[in-house]
Amino acid sequence: MSAARRKSVTDMTVGDPMKLILSFVVPLLGGMLFQQLYSCVDTLIVGRFLGVSELAGVGSTGSINFLIVGFCMGVCSGFAIPISQQFGAKKYSEMRRYLVHSIYLSIVFAVICTLLSVVFCGQILTLMNTPSDIYEYAYDYIIVIFLGIPTVFLYNLCSGAVRALGDSKMPVVFLIISSVINIFLDLAFILIFHMGVAGAAWATDISQLISGLIAAVYMIRRIDILRIEKGEWKYQQHYINVLLAMGVPMGLQYSITAIGSVILQTAVNGLGSVYVAAQTAAGKVSMFFCIPFDALGTTMATWGGQNVGAGKLDRVRHGCRDASILGCVYAAAEFVIMFFFGRGLASIFITSTAENASVILDASRLFLIVTSAFHIPLAFVNIVRFLIQGMGYSGLATLSGVFEMIGRSVAAFGLVPVFGYIGACFASPIAWVLADIFLFTAYAHVYKKTARILAQKNGGKPSETR
């Protein structure tokens, strides 16, 4: 690999952990901010130019969107783990074979997920008790999003492979291009062509397709060690088995977590479109400010994969410590922002002249204050769970999603019927705390087990840390 092209990847098995984590997180954070930007643009344009009912319709699909599309993203993240491990071990041919079989599996999963989600879309919205006054808007939006599932696989597979090699900068470029295109398409489809909420969904699909194609071209033409050689295209069941063992649990983790969100969304739908709109506006603000936690989690997956692949377990622990410090400091600062400015931030998506605007904004502020008060537990959920995944234990990480599902289900069935909307506000905090209780125990188990495995490989000697 030429010196110029070595710069496109980062070996995270050597060097100061805090500096490496920050150098990886900052570009990744920028990319996620742009990704969230065009999600917020959809919501902002819909809320400002179409109306509260349309906004509630789009917002009511958030949990089902996460259930299906989140599964696809999780599967691709799992596929990237063997790639990062083989890169850390300097086994580049094996790394490319895993990439090849990831492509095969992504095609199969994309076809199946698209067909199932499109066919059963209406039934799912009905089961979720979607209010009749927003049902049409919800269906028009989410059916188009589901048609774009192949673009989700294309982008996430390619960008995941690039990030697995330690390059978090180029995916930012892909997302900046995608975000700009999405904004212009949103404005054109909604304001000029009057396509309604479906226009916002088509803008998302098209912009994601373009970013995926750009990522694929970059991966093929600019990263030599990912350029697949002729003999490496041969199908081998061993690679499929490993990828399924990594990808499916991670996809299920997203989906299991989302099932709890679907149950909770069903309960909130029963409170009426006003509270659905409040949760939608607050949810968009919260998601934007939670991006650093997502970036730290993605970083830990690559960190864990490369360092376990290199047999450097002490670096895994040091990275977890440094990432936790960053997450806790940010969570404390973010709570202060939400306490004083939460209502104003939610008002970005709701005009003051909208029907029930004051009630919606007050409810949005309450949601933001309650959830941000528990963002330190959220930081640990992302850091520890993704680290466990990167170390190769996707199954255990998936179980944490079960605890999140239980927490949100408790809120939906126990708190919302008794306390109403405030019960829904405490759903995610309960989910995060329950997940952390499991994850801390799981991480201790995984660390000890990995230490024994590495000691056996090294003939009883401790792993290298430099």
pLDDT at 390: 87
pLDDT at 40: 67
Burial of 441 from C-beta contacts in 10 A (0-12 / 13-18 / 19+): exposed
Mean pLDDT over 363-379 rounds to 95
Task: Please report where in the chains the tokens 């979720």 appear, as a residue.
Answer: 128
Q: Is residue 128 part of a domain?
A: yes
Q: Out of 156-160, 333-337, 397-401, 449-453, which region has the weakest mean confidence (pLDDT)? A: 397-401
Query: Residue 464: what residue type?
Result: E
Number of domains into which the chain is organized: 1
Mean pLDDT over 317-338 rounds to 96
Q: How many other CB atoms sit within 10 Å of the CB of residue 76? A: 26
Does residue 37 contact residue 179 with C-beta atoms inside 8 Å?
Answer: yes
pLDDT at 6: 44
pLDDT at 266: 82
Of the candidates 57, 38, 46, 59, which has an alpha carbon nearest to the alpha carbon of residue 364? 59
Pairwise CA distance, residues 134 & 55, whole Å: 9
Q: Is residue 464 part of a domain?
A: no
Burial of 459 from C-beta contacts in 10 A (0-12 / 13-18 / 19+): exposed
Label each residue of the chain as H, E or C.
CCHHHHCCCCCCCCCCHHHHHHHHHHHHHHHHHHHHHHHHHHHHHHHHHHCHHHHHHHHCCHHHHHHHHHHHHHHHHHHHHHHHHHHHCCCHHHHHHHHHHHHHHHHHHHHHHHHHHHHCHHHHHHHCCCCCCCHHHHHHHHHHHHHCHHHHHHHHHHHHHHHHCCCCCHHHHHHHHHHHHHHHHHHHHHHHCCCHHHHHHHHHHHHHHHHHHHHHHHHHHHCHHHCCCHHHHCCCHHHHHHHHHHHHHHHHHHHHHHHHHHHHHHHHHCCCHHHHHHHHHHHHHHHHHCHHHHHHHHHHHHHHHHHHHCCCHHHHHHHHHHHHHHHHHHHHHHHHHHHHHHHHHHCCCCCCCCCCHHHHHHHHHHHHHHHHCCHHHHHHHHHHHHHHHHCCCHHHHHHHHHHHHHHHHHHHHHHHHHHCHHHHHCHHHHHHHHHHHHHHHHHHHHHHHHHHHHHHHCCCCCCCCC
**Residues 6+ away with beta carbon under 8 Å from 212:** 151, 154, 155, 158, 174
> Per-residue confidence at 51, pLDDT binned at 50, 70, 90?
confident
* Token reading at 153: 């696989």
pLDDT at 101: 97
Q: Is residue 67 part of a domain?
A: yes
pLDDT at 460: 55
pTM (2 decimals)? Answer: 0.73
Mean pLDDT over 231-250 rounds to 92
Q: Is residue 137 part of a domain?
A: yes
> Per-residue confidence at 169, pLDDT binned at 50, 70, 90?
confident
pLDDT at 459: 65
Q: Is residue 2 part of a domain?
A: no
Pairwise CA distance, residues 98 & 404, whole Å: 31
Pairwise CA distance, residues 207 & 184, whole Å: 10
Q: Is residue 90 part of a domain?
A: yes
What are the tens digits of pLDDT across the range 278-322? 888 898 889 889 989 988 998 998 899 899 988 999 999 999 999
Rg of the chain, C-alpha, whole Å: 22
pLDDT at 461: 56
> Per-residue confidence at 356, pLDDT binned at 50, 70, 90?
confident
Pairwise CA distance, residues 410 & 399, whole Å: 17
- Find the domain containing 297 and state its range: 11-457
Pairwise CA distance, residues 96 & 92, whole Å: 6
Residue 151 above 50 pLDDT? yes
pLDDT at 7: 47
> Per-residue confidence at 466, pLDDT binned at 50, 70, 90?
very low
Residue 2 above 50 pLDDT? no
pLDDT at 424: 92
Mean pLDDT over 354-360 rounds to 84
Q: Is residue 5 part of a domain?
A: no
What are the tens digits of pLDDT across the range 64-87? 888 888 899 889 988 998 998 899
Q: How many other CB atoms sit within 10 Å of the CB of residue 140? A: 20
What are the tens digits of pLDDT across the range 395-435? 887 788 889 889 999 999 999 999 999 999 999 999 999 99
Burial of 413 from C-beta contacts in 10 A (0-12 / 13-18 / 19+): middle
Pairwise CA distance, residues 466 & 452, whole Å: 19
pLDDT at 170: 85
Q: Is residue 6 part of a domain?
A: no
Sign of the dihedral defined by the CA atoms of residues 373, 397, 393, 389, in that order? negative
**Residues 6+ away with beta carbon under 8 Å from 231:** none
pLDDT at 38: 61
Does residue 236 contact residue 97 with C-beta atoms inside 8 Å?
Answer: yes
pLDDT at 416: 92
Residue 269 above 90 pLDDT? no
